């Protein structure tokens, strides 16, 4: 997981990380708890930089958490969308 956080640091060094605060749209950031592509810590960091963003971490899942938890993800997206009305 250490390498993943390094990749996010490189991404952030390009200025994108600081621009996340400019997002003014409803944002849902979801991640698998065992994601080997984008670590849960990186995803949490992304969500924390967007005002009002929702963060969800799906247990026992990797990068394809949506295939592991389709019903839970669908419910979350529905709840998120309803909260934006």
- Which pair of tokens denotes residue 24? 């003014």
CATH 3.40.50.1820 fits 2-83, yes or no: yes
Percentage of residues in the chain having pLDDT higher than 90: 73
Assign 17 a pLDDT band (cuts: 50, 70, 90). confident
Give tens-digit pLDDT for 26-63.
Answer: 999 999 999 998 889 999 999 999 999 999 999 999 99
Q: What are phi and psi of 84, to 5 degrees?
A: -90, -5
Point out which residues pair with 32 in neighbouring strands: 58
Query: Residue 5: pLDDT above 70?
Result: no
Q: Label residue 83 left, alpha or beta by phi (over 0 means left) and psi (-120 to 50 means alpha).
A: alpha
Dihedral (Cα; 46, 57, 1, 42), 10-degree rounding: 0
């Amino acid at each position: 997981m250490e390498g993943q956080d390094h990749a996010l640091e490189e991404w952030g060094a390009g200025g994108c990380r600081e621009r996340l605060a400019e997002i003014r749209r409803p944002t849902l950031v979801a991640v698998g708890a065992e994601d080997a592509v984008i670590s849960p810590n990186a995803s949490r960091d992304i969500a924390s930089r967007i005002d009002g963003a929702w963060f969800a971490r799906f247990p026992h899942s990797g990068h394809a958490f949506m295939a592991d938890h389709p019903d839970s993800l669908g419910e979350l997206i529905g709840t998120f969308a309803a909260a934006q009305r």
